[in-house]
Every structure is written in C-alpha cells, then in structure tokens.
Structure 1
Amino acid sequence: MGLTSNKTLLLAVLCAVLLFVGTVWLWPRLARRNLRAVGGRVGLLLAIQLALFVSVGLAANQAFGFYASWADLFGRETDQGVVVDHTEGLRSGGPLRVVDTQRVKETGGLRPQVGGQIQKVAIVGRTTRIATPAYVYLPPEYFQPQYRTRTFPAAVVLTGYPGTAQALVDKLRYPRTAWKLAENGRMQPMILVMLRPTVAPPRDTECVDIPGGPQTESFFARDLPDAVLAHYRVGEKPGSWGIIGDSTGGYCALKLAMHHPEVYAAGAGLSAYYNAPSDPTTGDLFHGDRELRDRANLWWYLKHRPAPDTSLLVTSSKAGEANYKDTLKFIERVKNTGRTRISSIILESGGHNFNTWRREIPATLQWIGGRLGDH
C-alpha cells in the first residue's frame, strides 16, 4: 500500500484503536508490580503512542503533500531524473513527452473542450540534462476549434520543499481554480505547468546552478520554457510567461522573475523567503563562489544589480507567518527601485500551510493572468 493511500491511513488508525482497546482490556492484568507487568504496561503505552504518531503523520502527509511515496519519505526515491527517462525523451524527438491524461474534476464536463485537461508529462532539459515529471493544465479553449491557431500565456507553478506536483492539482486545486476564474470571466484562459522545484531529489537545490551539480536555475529559466514551447501553443513573445510558487517554490518564483525578466514577466511568491538557506537538505550550494551566493540573496540583488523590469507579488499573514516582517521590508525595498513593480496579499491570520495558500491562489492567478500577454 502506498504512503498516500487511504487504505494505509485506515490501517494505521485501526491499529491505534485496537491497541487502545487492548490496553484497556489488559491493564488490570498488568497492574502487578513485577518486572513483567511493568514491561507490559510500558510496551503497550509505547505501541499506542507509535500508532497515534503514524496515524497523525499519514493524515498530515495526505493533507499537505509532503512526500509522495515511501521511497520519497526515506530519501530513497529513484523514479525521477533517471537516465532511462532522459534517453526516452530524446528518442521521442522532443524534450517533453505526455505519459497520461486526466480530466479536471468538478468542472462540469468530461470533454476537454468543456472542462479542460491535465496532462502528466516527462520533461528532459536539453542543456542541463535534468529530467523531471510535471503536470500541464490546458484550458477548454485550447481544444476548441475557434481557438486552434491561438497561443496562450503560461504560468509555471512550483511546490514547496519537498512537496509533490500532484498536490498542486489535488490539494491546492490550481487547475480547478483557473478553470472557474476563466469560466466566470475573471481571468484569461492560461496554461499551467505544475511541478516541484526539487528536480534532483532528495536534494533541495533552491533553484541554484550548483557548481559541479544540478543546474536548476538554468533548467527553469531556459530548458523548461523551451520544452513547453516545443510541444504546446504557448506565446513566444515577451510577457507570455509567469511563475508562481509557495514557500521554497515562492522563493524560486521571485528569484527567477528577478534574474530572468526576459522570460518571466511576473513572479508570485506565496509565503516566500528571500535568501537561499544552507542546511542539511541543501548541502553546499555555492562551493565558495561568492558571486553565486550573492545572486541567490534577493536583498543583495535589489541593492547591487539594476532593477529588473518585471512584476512581483508577495504574500504573508499578520499572524501565523514567520516571513511577515521580512515581506514588508521586501515590499519597501522593491518600491525604492523605481522600476520593478510590487504587489502583495496580506492576510490577518494564516499559517504556513495549504489552507492559507488556497485562500491566496484565486487572487494570485487573477493577478498573474492580468500581467501576461494574450496572443
């Protein structure tokens, strides 16, 4: 049974309940003061605690999409970025290969011309040699005959770390929200390219071109747009692309929009931070390269480099988000550039979680859709 399976969660809860009932039933027999009885009481209490911990952990993982599989949880993931995907991608004649399709739930139509379509794809970076899965949402208009020659704006959507791309579809509901907004005339139809920034799992690369390691920034700035453009009708003119992310993905979105405004005309960071961390999940990102380290610091970049011609959106909460004060400072720093445009969503309260981001996503999609060209 998979890590995210309902059967796995149900089994864990059932074990916790049975252990609790068994403990109540056996407790009188274990009330003696001998070593065996004491050991039995301790064992039962530890077993109940472990079962409860596993149940809560599985439920939290299902709610927030931290890990996609047991291998992902234990750092032994091997189904992404493998050579076989890379080779097959090249043999197929392009850097993007569709491996599955699914409908957008709760859109009122089974046909893609009505409800749009989600395609699961395998992407291979031609220059970075990075291979990663992703989901692509195509709006209904993409399949309608009257729009057969039209190109569409696109937004890359990134998870946090570790995150799962599936969570962007099922938990954060990006396709459903985009469909509803466009259906109600509140946003233009737009293609969404949804994936995790962890393209070299289990390492958290923070969207950095690591010396001697994964060239993650180049993948998102060059290879990913090229792969999508080669397969879908996305606008090629400046202003056709935006990028959105939460947490780690939010930092990546802001950085990519600032470093590559010629690619990303707008970047939205939900609950983002503003400098790449250094911890056991990242390892040594810069290998002593001071220039690379400085470029990854958005504070430094705003102060020492020309202001990028792009639009940024940042979000936070007055209560519940650790980045609130930094976000206010970042807004002021961007405003002082006189060129980079800055917008914000500030909630009264909201933690660093899916529920908060679901409250911010509709306005974020409207904001980014209003800043991308319709060709």
Structure 2
Amino acid sequence: MSLLGVPLLVGTIVLTIAVTAASVWLGGRLRGSAPSQAVRRAGLALACQVCAVLTVAVVVNDQFEFYATWDDLVGSDSAAGSFASLTPHDQHGLRTAAGLTFAPYGEDGVRVVHYTGPRTHIGADVYVWLPPQYGLPAYRHTRFPAIELLPGYPGPVHNWFTMLDVTGLLRHEMARGEAEPAILVAPTMEVVPGLDTDCTDIPGGPAAETWAAEDVRDMVTANFRARRDGAGWAAMGYSEGGFCAVKLAVQHPRQYAAAVSLSGYFTPTAPAVTRSPGLLRANDLLQVLTRSRPPVSLLVMGTRQDADTAADVTRLRDVVRAPTTVASSVLPSGGHNYGVWGTMLSPALRWVSHELSDPRRARS
C-alpha cells in the first residue's frame, strides 16, 4: 500500500474527524464512578491525539515524500526478497562474471543486489542502471563513467528512480546530445535502521563513508565495465545526500572528479557526528576546504525559499580556492522537496556529464 497520495491522506483526515466526533458523543454519556469516567475520558482524549498526530505525519510525508511504502517505513525490502530466489535468467535477473546476481527493480532496467562490503562488512542494497549503449556491440570494449547517487535522510535511495525518474531524465539528455552514457549507482546509506551517519565513518559504528567511497565503488568496477580512474566517477545527492556527494569528492579526490549537491548543506547535522568535536571538525566541509584544495569540480544548488541551502551555497563559494572549482545555482522559489530537486536534475546531469567527458581529465 502506498503511503503517498490522496487516498491515505483523505482516509486519515476522515478517521480523525470520526474519532473526535465519537469521543465528544461518548464523553457526554459516560456512566460510573468519577475515577472510572476520568480514565475513560483520558482514553478518548488519547485516541483523538493519536489520530491528530497520525494525520500530521501523513500530511508531512505526502509533502516531503520520505516514505513511499510500508516497506520503506519499516525498513524491509521486497526487492531483496525476490533477489534470493532468482536464477541467472529468471525475471531478467543479471548475473555478472564476478558472480553477483542483480534482481530487476521497476521497469527501466534498474537492478538491485544485496551486497556486503569486504572492508566495512556493511550489508545493504545497491541499485545499478546500465545505459542502453552498454549492451551494444559497438561499445563492448568501452568502460563507462559512473555517477553515484546518494539519498537524503530519512528516505530510501530508490527514490532516485521512482520519485525523480533519473533514468528517464538521463535518457532524454542523451537523446538530445546533452549528456554521455553513464552507469548510475545508488547505494543504501541508512545502513543501520534509524541511524543518521551523515555518510561518515562512525567510531564504533558503521563506516558509511568507506562503504560508499570504496566498497560500493569497487563492487561496481569488478562487476561492470565502469571506469576505474577517478576522472570517470562523480557523486550526486539531494538534501543530506548533497552533503554526502560533496564530501566524497572533497575527501576522496583520487576517486571522484566531481560532485553535485541539490539543496544540500556542508556542515554535519547528524548527532552521531556532531557529538564528537574531532569528528565534526574533520567532516565539516567548510572547514576542510579552508585547509585543503582538492582538484575536484563542484556544482551546488539551492533556492531562496529554502533559505539555509542558499546561504550554504554562498558559504561554500567563499571558502573554495583553486584548483577546486565550484559552480552554483540558486533558484528564486521552491521548498525542500522532490519537485524542486526534479527541476534541478536535468541541468545537473548535463553539468556532470560534461565534467566526466572533459578531455583534460586523465583516462585509464
């Protein structure tokens, strides 16, 4: 059942009205001792409050699209379940020469595998999309650039393909000659349910940064014809994922040439990071970029209505020095949601494709 859209929203509103009306009607007809009536009235009031909170939660989720299904909310993964029973040719599952089987996800060629990283021992889903050219004879010896897609928190990484239709937009830009074919890679970043890591290696906890920058990257290059050189990789993210994308490029300039932040920020906000002054300092990108100048290209985008993102764009531009380069775009309107990020995505794909195809960058 979908957690987005009119049916659930209307249903929760109707339920709240009905429970409130019933509580008022029953409250005037309670019989028994005073303590007994007080307890029952408290129960009715609690039922009204629960329904009101539920309605607010549904409205907020519908606006910001944090969770699309019950599986997203509870952290289960039906795609991973179907993966376990696949044979190499079942349901168009893809088995690679390295021995991993990728199950189909959706109808646009996206595939998913539950992968355990050898360095971090993190086990999580990774989604991969191969461009149409990948299977053509003319490209059989071609290694393709890769774009690593990072999600906001909370919310599942596959929203890149469902809410944002990144594959459809990239196909469109390729057809117009505005973008080159690229492999899209979207790793799960909420690797421990309910724990926000800001894509950071947490002492005593999950090594989320190493998972994204090394385990996932190595898995892709081992299983697909993805470029292995850093000039062939970029990271892109929305909201917290924007922070993560810039962080990967800035902290790992040998592995990434460019990064795109859609309404991201550049100072950690996750309690798992901010509670440690040393960890905060090491991962505050505004501080890091005052101390180092990695040879990477950044595109940072925000909106004036989403004022914090616009302010962070300015802060980042103020600290960046060559050879780091930064391009920026601040839209006049728009909030912090998928509609805005969808508007930003096409120009972001064109920009990142240009960076990955720049002949001045080394290839291997």
**TM-score normalised over the length of structure 2:** 0.80
The whole-number CA distance in structure 1 between the counterparts of 2:261 and 2:65 is 19
Partner of 2:346, secondary structure, is: helix
Q: CA RMSD in A?
A: 3.7
Query: 1:113 corresponds to which residue?
Result: none
Query: 1:103 corresponds to which residue?
Result: 107
Query: 1:359 corresponds to which residue?
Result: 343
Letter in 2 for 1:349: S
Query: 2:311 corresponds to which residue?
Result: 325
**Contact 1:345/1:360 (CA < 8 Å) preserved in 2?**
no
The whole-number CA distance in structure 2 between the counterparts of 1:273 and 1:178 is 25
Partner of 1:129, secondary structure, is: coil
Letter in 2 for 1:348: P
Q: How does 1:239-278 map to 2 (within 5 A)?
A: 239-278=231-270
1:339 correspondence with 2:339: no
The whole-number CA distance in structure 2 between the counterparts of 1:101 and 1:357 is 22
Query: 1:119 corresponds to which residue?
Result: 111
Q: Tell me whether 211-220 or 248-257 shows the greater mean CA deviation.
A: 211-220
- 1:90-118, Cα deviation, whole Å (9 max, x unpaired): xx9958541334322xxxxxxxxxxxx11
For residue 323 of structure 1, report the CA deviation from its aligned partner: 2.7
Letter in 1 for 2:106: Q
1:308 correspondence with 2:294: yes
Partner of 1:151, secondary structure, is: coil
The whole-number CA distance in structure 1 between the counterparts of 2:195 and 2:210 is 17
The whole-number CA distance in structure 1 between the counterparts of 2:176 and 2:45 is 54
Partner of 1:61, secondary structure, is: helix
For residue 79 of structure 1, report the CA deviation from its aligned partner: 6.0
Within the candidate set 132, 136, 155, 1:163 is matched to: 155
- 1:111-148, Cα deviation, whole Å (9 max, x unpaired): xxxxxx11122222111111111221222112223222
Counterparts in 2 of 1:16 and 1:277: CA distance versus 1, 3 Å: closer
Letter in 2 for 1:298: L
Count of paired positions: 343
Mark the runs of 5 or more structure 2 residues left unpaired by the alignment: 85-95
The whole-number CA distance in structure 2 between the counterparts of 1:68 and 1:285 is 31
**Contact 1:177/1:362 (CA < 8 Å) preserved in 2?**
yes
Give identity over the alignment, percent: 31
Partner of 1:302, secondary structure, is: helix
Within the candidate set 132, 135, 148, 1:143 is matched to: 135
Query: 2:66 corresponds to which residue?
Result: 66
**Contact 1:265/1:372 (CA < 8 Å) preserved in 2?**
yes
Counterparts in 2 of 1:197 and 1:148: CA distance versus 1, 3 Å: same
**TM-score normalised over the length of structure 1:** 0.78
- 1:205-258, Cα deviation, whole Å (9 max, x unpaired): 111112222111111111111001111111123311100011111111111100
Q: Tell me whether 200-209 or 54-63 shows the greater mean CA deviation.
A: 54-63
For residue 363 of structure 1, report the CA deviation from its aligned partner: 0.7
Q: How does 1:16-35 map to 2 (within 5 A)?
A: 16=16
Mark the runs of 5 or more structure 1 residues left unpaired by the alignment: 87-91, 105-116
Letter in 2 for 1:361: L
